[in-house]
Amino acid sequence: MRRLVHPIERESYRIMRAMVDTSGLPRHSRDVAERIVHTTADPAWIGDLVLDEAALSRAAQALSSGAALITDVRMVAAGVTAREAVCFVNSGRVSVPSGKTRAAAGIAHAATLHPAGAVWVVGNAPTALTELLMLAAKGEVEPEMVIGLPVGFVGAAESKLALRESGLPQLSNVSARGGSNVAAAAVNALLYGDPLEDEK
């Protein structure tokens, strides 16, 4: 997607590339890694991310073709600046069963509406990612891609490991860190690409 890149963003990317060499990464992996580092001002993300170029390319194509974009919380949806996103975390249409979080209930509801072909983004709640993986294992949902970057000391790293072991097309990271801003950054990277592309 072509967009007007602000001079501050351009300069930020130039500074980042002077600090971190991502030139060896393939196109979409580089876009995602750099956008996350840019968003967090933390180069250590490069070594934490688990990047799969084929899965990222598939997600970029799906998004450009209008695939549904489903998020676990509204903060992720708000951070995606070029696309509408579906989020049911606080929807009055979704009941929350005992023992289940609102984020997990929202994911379960979204799966009934988008059983195949959607790009799923989890940036806050490990329980939402666990719910999605359970539904996928049952054959109730077939994600086009799962961006799993939930944050927290309880279940975050474990849910991301389970995502990698599921065999689903995915983007994740190894540690317990993550967050809505990081997940939104990954989506924006797939939508926008390299902000300095015209300088090459």
| Catalytic residue annotation | 38
Q: What are the E-state strand segments in 112-158?
A: 119-122, 145-148
Backbone angles phi, psi at 193, to 5 degrees: 75, -150
| Residues 6+ away with beta carbon under 8 Å from 9 | 38, 195
Give SS3 for 3. coil
Q: Which residues face 86 on adjacent strands?
A: 70
Residues in the chain: 200
Q: Which two tokens stand for residue 14?
A: 């130039």
Of 97, 98, 124, 99, nearest to 109 by C-alpha is 97
